[in-house]
Amino acid sequence: MNKKKYTFRAIESDEKIRAQVVLTSLLKRLIETQRRTTGETLSEYLRKAAILRILAEDEEHRELDTLANLLIGSVSLKKHPEWKTKAKVTSWVRKLRNEWK
pLDDT digits (tens, 9 = 90+) for 30-63: 999 999 999 999 999 999 999 999 999 999 999 9
On whether the CB atoms of residues 83 and 77 are closer than 8 A, the answer is yes
What pLDDT does residue 3 have? Answer: 54
**Taking 70 as the threshold, does the pLDDT of residue 2 lie above it?**
no
On whether residue 62 sits in a domain, the answer given is: yes
**Taking 80 as the threshold, does the pLDDT of residue 1 lie above it?**
no
On whether residue 92 sits in a domain, the answer given is: no
Enter the pTM of the model: 0.60
Stretch (H or E) spanning 41: none
CA 76 – CA 84 distance, rounded (Å): 10
For residue 16, how far is the Cα from the chain centroid?
Answer: 23
On whether residue 39 sits in a domain, the answer given is: yes
Number of domains comprising the chain: 1
**CA-to-CA dists, residue 96 to 37, 56, 77, 89, angstroms:** 50, 31, 18, 10
DSSP state of 101: -
